[in-house]
Amino acid sequence: MVYGVLTICYHLYLTFSDGSKFYPDYMTNLVATQTNSLLNSIGYDAEILPHPNEPSMKVIINGKFVARVIEGCNALSIIILFVSFIVAFAGKLKTTIFYGFAGSIIIYAFNLIRIVILSVGLYHYPDQKYLMHKVIFPMLIYGTVFLLWMVWVNRFSKSVKADA
């Protein structure tokens, strides 16, 4: 039920994000902006620009277009999945809220770092795009979520303690 409600809310958010203030939507724009800041802070001459033909932000490093930040890159779908699982195996209310919030921040930050590393990787090794984007980095982000779930179930969930 939580997953359905959060997914509907996210769909409504995307539906009403017209891109007039933040293109293509606030969270995707935020991820792109933060990616740009991180890339510049580690010594790359990076910039982000709205993609002219699709709802995404172009990541450009040293004048080279290396990646697009699309709605699916903002980690909200993964966070919805994570929070839904935590609620499904809820522990104490305070613990559930805190772990859901902390886990969401970890997932968001890890996703942001993932996009930065992927952008740098695509800049230096464009021929490895498929391996990096479709294999390694999804494995890392979903692996992180899985580990957070395992910690939750084994340390905080009431359902495990009731079975023991």
Domain residues of the chain, as ranges? 2-158
Q: Cis bond leading into 24, ω under 30°? A: yes
Q: Which of 32, 118, 107 is nearest to 76 (CA)?
A: 107
pLDDT at 160: 54
- 10-residue mean pLDDT series, the chain (164 residues): 96 90 94 98 98 95 97 96 96 95 97 96 96 92 96 85 50
Q: Are 22 and 29 in contact (CB under 8 A)?
A: yes
Q: Are 23 and 36 in contact (CB under 8 A)?
A: no
Q: pTM for the whole thing?
A: 0.91
pLDDT at 154: 94
**What tokens were used for 68?**
């697009």
Q: Which is it for the CA torsion 5, 34, 53, 120, positive or negative?
A: negative
What backbone phi and psi angles, to 5 degrees, belong to 52? -75, -20
Chain mean position to CA 87: 19
Residue type at position 138: P
Residue type at position 153: V
Q: Are 59 and 36 in contact (CB under 8 A)?
A: yes
pLDDT at 158: 79
Q: Are 100 and 87 in contact (CB under 8 A)?
A: yes
Helix axis angle, 137-155 relative to 76-88, nearest 10°? Answer: 20
Chain mean position to CA 123: 21
